[in-house]
Amino acid sequence: MTIWTPTDSGYADLTSHDTFADGVPHNTFARLRRDDPLHWTEYEGGENFWSVTRYDDITVMNKNTEVFSSARGIRMEDQSYEEYLARRTFQETDPPEHTQVRMKLLKAFSNTVMQQYEQDIRDLCEEILEDALGQETFDATKLIARQLPMRMLGRIVGLPDEDLPWLVEKGDALIANTDPDFTSHVMDKLETDEFRMMPFNSPAGAELYAYAKELMEKKERDGDTSGVLHLILQPAKDGSMITETEFRNFFCLLVAAGNDTTRYSIAAGIQAMCHQPELLGQMKEGGSVWDTASDEIIRWATPATYFRRTATQDYEMHGKTIRAGDKVLYWFASANRDDSKFEDPFRVNLHRSPNRHLSFGQFGPHVCLGMWLARLEVKVLFQELSKRLSHIEPAGPHKFLRSNFVGGIKELPVSIRRA
Amino acid sequence: MKMNVTWTLPAGGTVSAAVEPGQNLMEAATENNVENVTGECGGSLSCATCHVYVEGDWFDKTGEIGEFEDAMLDMAPGERRPNSRLSCQIEAHPDLDGLQLTVPES
């Protein structure tokens, strides 16, 4: 059975958030990969850009940070240099500057540190699932997928439980800032530039800035060393410390990135279980499937549909010239369905191995810092979910987020029978 | 001239391959599906997922450990040992023909 069939004509407007509200336009990406792998994309909202859609092209370019820089922004939308400086995190820098900041953060999110949280994640999953599975029909994004990542991030970072619902809301408003269900400041329909110096051009960014500052001060006063923030505040190997601005921007990034990318991976995994009934059986069988299942679910989901770079010099490719200063988008959502790399890419194969998908922006220095946590959360959630189910099916059509940057199912009605 | 390299896997067993000079040993490992060497960042010194132990006298022949590599090794999966290296930072070279690497447990 097919999980979901794309409905776009093959000529969808990749710059339109509305396009993605009907799901990723995979017919368009398939055509571009075949006929026009370096596609000059017209963009009404700003400078036109190059769309790169093939797996093999993205993996080569993503490494090449000298030619394709992150330091002019990482989204399709243009921003002035002034806005860029105020809002940037280490995502919007290149090596060696990027490496220096990343070194201070990496230790807190290493696989070894994350493994220590496995039991915490399992306990949280139990709590969330016992709550959700009390009903036969419910919205799985709302009751399952939306719950785990933020509560877990709260534990890891050392945030008070009572602040978590507020943080989930702010995180939604930051990244899903183009979906009216999540923010009243819909970014491409804004009539004000009041928040343009704030992270994600959002009033939520301002509130998170204030929260982070207060949190830091309180932790310092109380000598509180719980959570990874403490690790982040330790001097790096070279003695350097994270600056206050770096910290606050990083905190916003944590809330935004930690909130909805894992959420939409979980939602996409549950969606797949609804339409490929064999998946539940394979999960229940367990064993080696858990070495490969999370990466396949995360490939299937591809919550970060693209990242943008800017060319620093001319670059020849597929008989065309990318000029210095041109924007270039790496469409990970397309690369993860590239059938020259993935056999039967529109099927979820929990045993897929090797599975070198690009959902974490692999093959470049900006590879997701939270990837170990994401993999662990997805694995444990599906272990605990499958254990408790004997059947799951859709209870109506699902709805996608209105965003060409975050690919996700914001409403996923399911019917279940408990095991 | 290609150089031969052998990886000893955490569960026992080995993988051997002939590698082109100039290629780095993380890429060589991923091309040969060496378990636990994933090179997530593509060799940009940002992930430490290509950690290996360089066996015996080979260690001194693989060159100096850079500042960033040193910091990354502290966070690498598997215990750091005196012969730890990130294999993306070792380039295949005829002088390394016969190189023996061990893959840490993750």
- The DSSP secondary structure of A105-121, one letter per residue, reads HHGGG-HHHHHTTHHHH
- In sequence order, which ranges of B1-57 are alpha helices (DSSP H)? 25-31
Q: Which domains does chain B show, CATH number per domain?
A: 3-102 (3.10.20.30)
pLDDT score of A236 more than 80 = no
Cβ atoms A389, A417 nearer than 8 A = yes
Left (φ > 0), alpha (ψ -120 to 50) or beta: where does A174 sit?
alpha
Low-confidence ranges of chain B (pLDDT < 70): none
Which residues of chain A does B68 touch, with a Cβ-Cβ cutoff of 8 Å? 96, 99, 103
Backbone angles phi, psi at A230, to 5 degrees: -60, -45
pLDDT computed for residue B54 by the predictor: 98
Which three-class secondary structure state does DSSP give residue A161? helix
Cβ atoms A137, A412 nearer than 8 A = no
Q: pLDDT tens digits for A375-396?
A: 999 999 999 999 999 999 999 9
Q: pLDDT tens digits for A95-105?
A: 988 988 888 78
Mean pLDDT of A103-132: 90
CA distance A34 to chain B (A): 25
Residue showing tokens 């220095």: A365
- Tokens for A412? 């996923």
Q: pLDDT tens digits for A155-187?
A: 888 888 888 888 888 877 776 667 777 766 666
Cβ atoms A379, A357 nearer than 8 A = no
**Which residue from A267, A266, A289 is spatially nearest to A279, judged by alpha carbons?**
A289
pLDDT score of A201 more than 70 = no
CB contact under 8 A, A95 and B45: yes
Beta bridge partners of A187: none
pLDDT computed for residue A175 by the predictor: 66
- Tokens for B11? 């569960």
pLDDT computed for residue A100 by the predictor: 82
The predicted complex's ipTM stands at 0.90
pLDDT computed for residue A192 by the predictor: 57
Mean pLDDT of A290-303: 97
CB contact under 8 A, B41 and A103: no
Task: Nearest chain B residue to A354 by CA: give it.
Answer: B33
CA distance A283 to chain B (A): 23
Residue showing tokens 């394709």: A68
Residue type (1 letter), A194: E
Which of the two residues, A238 and A310, has the higher pLDDT score?
A310
Cβ atoms A256, A317 nearer than 8 A = no
Mean pLDDT of A408-416: 97
**Which residue from A28, A58, A103 is spatially nearest to A335, judged by alpha carbons?**
A58
pLDDT score of A292 more than 60 = yes
Mean pLDDT of A190-194: 58
Q: Which domains does chain A show, CATH number per domain?
A: 24-396 (1.10.630.10)
pLDDT computed for residue A104 by the predictor: 76
Sign of CA dihedral A373, A335, A305, A4: negative
Around Cβ A358, how many Cβ atoms within 10 Å?
A: 26
Cβ atoms A201, A195 nearer than 8 A = yes
How does DSSP classify residue A411?
Answer: E
Which residues have C-beta within 8 Å of that of residue A210, sequence separation ≥ 6? none
**Which residue from A353, A176, A417, A382 is spatially nearest to A270, judged by alpha carbons?**
A382
Chain centroid to Cα A83, Å, comes to 23
Which residues of chain B does A98 touch, with a Cβ-Cβ cutoff of 8 Å? 46
CB contact under 8 A, A107 and B74: yes
Least confident of A80-84, A117-121, A162-166: A80-84
Mean pLDDT of A127-150: 95
Which residues of chain B does A238 touch, with a Cβ-Cβ cutoff of 8 Å? 67, 71
pLDDT score of A251 more than 90 = no
pLDDT score of A58 more than 90 = yes
C-alpha to C-alpha distance for A226 and A219, rounded to whole angstroms: 9
pLDDT computed for residue A177 by the predictor: 65
CA distance B51 to chain A (A): 13
How does DSSP classify residue A162?
Answer: G
Indicate the pairing of strand B99-102 with strand B3-8: parallel
pTM over 0.80: yes
Mean pLDDT of A330-337: 98
Nearest to B45 among A99, A237, A366 (CB): A99
Which residues of chain A does B37 touch, with a Cβ-Cβ cutoff of 8 Å? none
C-alpha to C-alpha distance for A121 and A379, rounded to whole angstroms: 10
pLDDT score of A405 more than 80 = yes
Which three-class secondary structure state does DSSP give residue A137? strand
CB contact under 8 A, B75 and A237: no
CB contact under 8 A, B75 and A364: no
Preferred mutation among A62, A91, A101, A103 to probe B, highest tally of B CBs within 10 A:
A103
Cβ atoms B28, B56 nearer than 8 A = no
| Percentage of residues in chain A having pLDDT higher than 90 | 64
CB contact under 8 A, A363 and B46: no
Backbone angles phi, psi at A208, to 5 degrees: -70, -35
C-alpha to C-alpha distance for A86 and A1, rounded to whole angstroms: 48
CA distance B59 to chain A (A): 23
Which of the two residues, A195 and B41, has the higher pLDDT score?
B41
Beta bridge partners of A308: A329
C-alpha to C-alpha distance for A52 and A393, rounded to whole angstroms: 36
- The DSSP secondary structure of A277-338, one letter per residue, reads THHHHHHHH-TTHHHHHHHHHHHHH-SB-EEEEEESS-EEETTEEEPTT-EEEEEHHHHTT-
Band of pLDDT at residue A131, cut at 50, 70 and 90: very high
Which residues have C-beta within 8 Å of that of residue A357, sequence separation ≥ 6? A295, A298, A299, A302, A335, A336, A342
Contact with chain A for residue B43, Cβ under 8 A = yes
